[in-house]
Amino acid sequence: MINLYDWFVSFGLILESGSKEELDQSIVLARFMRSISELQFMGFIKPTARKADHNKKVKE
């Protein structure tokens, strides 16, 4: 199970460390949500019914 908020914070820190200027949070959130939807589309993660703010890693 992956907590999406913790993942989002880590994602934002990585983006900001690679950038020389501070990024707008709405842009970071949009990029994060797009990456989550692409991972779901490719089948790497899937949403869970148990907790709304968690995703489950798909095992091969």
Instruction: Give the list of residues 6+ apart from residue 28 with CB closer than 8 angstroms, or none.
Output: 8, 11, 12, 15, 16
Which tokens in the block code for residue 2?
Answer: 């992956």
Residue 60: C-alpha distances to residues 45, 49, 57 (Å): 11, 20, 10
At 49, the pLDDT band (50, 70, 90 cuts) reads: low
pLDDT the model gives residue 3: 81
Q: What is the mean pLDDT of residues 16-23?
A: 80
Q: What phi and psi values does residue 2 have, to the nearest 5 degrees?
A: -120, 125
At 31, the pLDDT band (50, 70, 90 cuts) reads: very high
At 45, the pLDDT band (50, 70, 90 cuts) reads: confident
CA atoms within 13 A on the CB side of 3: 4
